[in-house]
Structure 1
Amino acid sequence: MLAHPKKVIIVEGILIFEDPELRDLMDIKVFVDTDADERLMRRILRDTKERGRSVESVLAQYVNTVKPMHEQFVEPSKKHADIIIPRGGENTTGIHILQEHLKLILG
């Protein structure tokens, strides 16, 4: 993907910090951390409602694949973050601090 120069470009993805070349292009790296139970609950709700999967199949995939891969790849990538926002979108203070920083950049 080609991105034209802008003051702020937001790139998101759970493995975004795993690529050193991409990391080096980022001025600020933000990791939005969400509780494991919350992530599992969201996955169950999404996969059963939107994808027609059973709770059992979602849980099996989570235990066998999702959780181990998260622990192996996603969790360690936090060390590359400049800012870690715990509690995800519920952390209004962390989000406010990030918003204020972006306002400074945007002028």
Structure 2
Amino acid sequence: MADLDDLRRLALALPETEEGTHFRLVDFKVRRKGFAGMLPNGHAGLSVPAEQVPALVAEHPVLTELRRFDKVIGVELDLGEADVDLLGRLVELAWRTRAPKRVVAAWEAGNR
């Protein structure tokens, strides 16, 4: 089972990530673009590409679509039901989705 501390550790391990708040809830941003954070219901929200959401939800029953104004904007995850490995993959995917390409490329070059 994952928790907020895991989300924090995984998000802050990625380059140029900053922790803040959004509507008084924990939020993580890269270059002022939010990619992960807590939702009012206590679940985590992760900004992943909308076209990948159906496959992710089908593969991982702990995920649900995250929508805003009837538009899919990512996935919602009950941290208590998720393992840390899945959370890590989703945090990285969300970060890659929102980070500038040159930041991602530099990070990838340093991790080879």
* Same fold by TM-score greater than 0.5: no
**TM-score, with structure 1 as normaliser:** 0.28
Instruction: Report the structure number with the largest CA radius of gyration.
Output: 1
Decide which structure has greater helix share.
1
**TM-score, with structure 2 as normaliser:** 0.27
Decide which structure has greater strand share.
2
